[in-house]
Amino acid sequence: MLFLLAVVIAFTTACSGSSESASETVTENLETQVQPLSPHKQQVRELLLSRVTDDTASFQYIDRVRFIEHVMPENYVSEQVDIADTVHIFRMIEDGDVVVAQSVLIYNRSDRSPEVVVDIFRYDGQKIVERWANIEVISDGDSWQTRTQGDTLITDLDKTEANKKLAEEYEKKNFQENYRTEIEEMGEAGEDDGYQPDPGVFCDAIYAIYGEGNFVFVMQDITHIGGAVGGYSTANFNILQCKDNEVINRWTCSENFHYEGDYPNGKYKVLNE
């Protein structure tokens, strides 16, 4: 009860414009805090909060010998301490040895735009051994509020596996509907030139699916082959909300890249098994 009261006070102070230093502002969705956090979720929470503080105590949860980052070097966890002024933590999903976290970073000390971040941490025992992440800059005309609003309360734990299958089917269908026209148009253009392009103009791959009750995370890659820049990939880290055998909400965090080689340890591959 005291913990919940403290969170409410902290949240109210942050929203009302406290005179405290902006670099120390931390806000969290209260619905998430109503549910007790598992040990692993609590550890991930502390790591996320270090992005607005100089506190590196949470690094103790990382296996420094075996830990592998699947992000650009400048986005390594060790490079993200005290980088933002505010962090909003919205959703956490725990599935086996994996914790997925959705958050927003706000930068008041610079002109840097807000960023939606989806982190995936994999544990081996009590230590974190791998991390994947997508970091998407909020463009002008968009807002982080609209990109994250909605339910956060985890329910229907008995439907986790069914919802994971539902989410996978939804993403596959969504891909076909979104890219069918482009695939057909490129195919027609190729036929006019007497050349039939590779049928995999747009390749869809799902690398991971993790779920907890009504929330499911899907790690998806869409590879765009060809084009003036030689092709590129879009990494979609999606969180879907399921209810009554339907997907009723979807939050996406996308990151475009040209070469997986830009990521020293690969963008998706599980290396530390």
pLDDT band at 27, cuts 50/70/90? low
Mean residue pLDDT of the chain comes to 80
Each residue's pLDDT tens digit, 181-213: 665 665 554 444 433 344 444 666 899 999 999
Give the residue-averaged pLDDT of 111-136: 95
Please list the residues that pair with 158 across neighbouring strands.
none
Residue with tokens 């596959």: 172
What pLDDT shows up at residue 110?
A: 84
> Which residue bears the tokens 């007497």?
194
> Would the pTM count as exceeding 0.85?
no
**Average pLDDT score over residue span 59-70:** 96
What are the angstrom distances between the C-alpha of 240 and each of 12, 166, 251? 28, 10, 6
pLDDT in tens, 37-53: 999 999 999 999 999 99
Distance, in Å, from the CA atom of 160 to the CA atom of 241, rounded to the nearest integer, reads 11
Q: What's residue 258's pLDDT?
A: 72
Does the pLDDT of residue 20 top 50, yes or no? no
pLDDT given at position 201: 46
d(CA 48, CA 32): 15
b/e sequence 136-161, b meaning 16+ C-beta within 10 Å: bebeeeeebeebbeeebebeeeebbe
d(C-alpha 204, C-alpha 214), whole Å: 24
- Give the pLDDT score at 5: 35
Q: Could you tell me which residue, 60 or 172, shows the higher pLDDT?
A: 60
pLDDT band of residue 8 (cuts 50, 70, 90) is very low
Mean pLDDT of 158-176: 93
CA dist., res. 13 & res. 19, Å (int): 9
At which residue do the structure tokens 């902290």 appear?
10
**How are the residues of the chain apportioned to helix, strand and coil, as percentages rounded to the nearest 5?**
35, 35, 35
Using alpha carbons only, give the angle 57, 134, 215 rounded to the nearest 5 degrees.
90
pLDDT mean over 60-84: 92
Percent of the chain past pLDDT 90, that is, above it, reads 51
Q: How many helices (H) and strands (E) does the chain have?
A: 5, 10
On the 0-12 / 13-18 / 19+ scale of CB atoms within 10 A, 44 is buried
- Asked if pLDDT for residue 221 goes beyond 50, the answer is yes
